Amino acid sequence: MLKNLLFSACLLLSVTLTQAQTADFVSLNRQAMSAYLDKRYAEAGKLFDQALKDKKAHPGAGDYYNAACAWALAGNKDQAFRYLDLATAAGWENVAHLKQDSDLNALHADKRWQPMLTKLETAVARIQANYDKPLKQQLDSIYASDQGGRQQYASIKDKYGEHSPEMQALWKQMAETDARNLKKITALLDQRGWPSKAKVGNMGTQTVFLVIQHSDLPTMQKYFPMAQQAMERGDLAKSAFALLQDRFLMWQGKPQIYGSQLVSDTKTGKMAFHPIEDEAHVDERRATMGLGPLTDYAKNFGLDYHPPQP
């Protein structure tokens, strides 16, 4: 299963870094993921079906892959293979993950498995023909380690609580992993600059962003101009850069621009937006970066938010 991202500093849950999504699509995906985690796989599959029928949404390869996993576990092989084909068409590149993903084990003996793999591998080879393969492999490894602990966050919080020893151990593990990854990424940036999508793919450039996004203020300050240049030439999604810029401003104690950063009230535990500059016009700025309305984004965190009138 391709789990959702967790942006550690503000406990941001999953966000779409490449394109704005509708509130219904996001809500249905969250419900589907919850059903999947509860092992209600058929229900998860049906919820993914509903989400992916949203004609206003922009599903990515990972969305189709998640649906395939749910249906494979539910025993509906036809739906699982249909979604794997859609994931391939949408640009799914992680062949190694697909091969070892236990969610798909029930499909391995099916006569459609090998042809699907061949089709995927052919598509990936075409996409990655000009990649810097050693660098891509390094970034894939960094991404996996970056997300490893974050994928456990929700389940550990629900099972043991936010302030439990188990959660503290997870934070410690994540901090140690982040430090190791940051050392590798800063070495890459210092020696070779921000990698291009043509050399490492979209996930490769997003991995660099994620590691910098999880770093401290001095590191962000050093590499922020490089990230901006990557965004301007198309090697970093505008929506990802918006998250980085908001985080960078927040760490400086300044108002954010796009409203992507939330903080947890230490007394109530509830989420709230870090102050937003010119809040009445935030949606106009978000639209320029490929982000949907803040009202929809707020629903991901259980917030009933409406920006002030100009």
pLDDT tens by residue, 195-252: 999 999 988 999 999 999 999 999 999 999 999 999 999 999 898 999 999 999 999 9
Q: Which residues contact 158 (CB under 8 A, 6 or more apart)?
A: none
Query: What does R_g of the chain's alpha carbons equal in angstroms?
Result: 20
Q: Report pLDDT digits (tens) over 247-288.
A: 999 999 999 999 999 998 777 778 899 999 999 999 999 989
Cα(22)–Cα(169) distance, integer angstroms:
36
Residue-level pLDDT at 93:
85
Please provide residue 7's backbone torsions phi and psi, each rounded to the nearest 5 degrees. -90, 105
Q: Which of 11-15, 38-42, 97-101, 197-201 has the lowest mean pLDDT?
A: 11-15
- Report in angstroms the alpha-carbon separations of 123 from 1, 126, 197: 21, 5, 17
Rounded CA gap, 138 and 68, in Å? 27
Residue 44 CA to residue 195 CA, distance in Å, equals: 36
In this prediction, residue 1 has a pLDDT band, given cuts at 50, 70 and 90, of low
217 phi, psi to nearest 5 deg = -60, -45
Q: Quick one: how far is CA 164 from the chain centroid?
A: 26
Reading the block at residue 229, the tokens are 């240049």
- Can you give the residue ranges of every domain in the chain? 8-92+94-127, 133-236, 237-310
Instruction: Report, as an integer, the average pLDDT of 57-84.
Output: 94
What is the C-alpha to C-alpha distance for residues 129 and 74, in angstroms, rounded to an integer? 36
* Cα distances (angstroms) measured from residue 280 to each of 51, 98, 247, 276: 30, 44, 20, 9
Q: Please tell me the predicted confidence (pLDDT) of residue 20.
A: 52
- CATH T-level topology, domain 8-92+94-127: 1.25.40
Tens of pLDDT, residues 25-35: 877 887 888 78
Q: Give me the helices (H) in 14-151, please.
A: 23-37, 41-52, 61-74, 77-89, 95-100, 113-127, 133-150
Mean residue pLDDT across the chain:
88
Amino acid 29: pLDDT: 82
Q: For the segment 140-153, what is each residue's pLDDT rounded down to a tens digit?
A: 899 888 887 877 87
| Residue 41: partners with Cβ closer than 8 Å, 6 or more residues away | 35, 70, 71, 73, 74
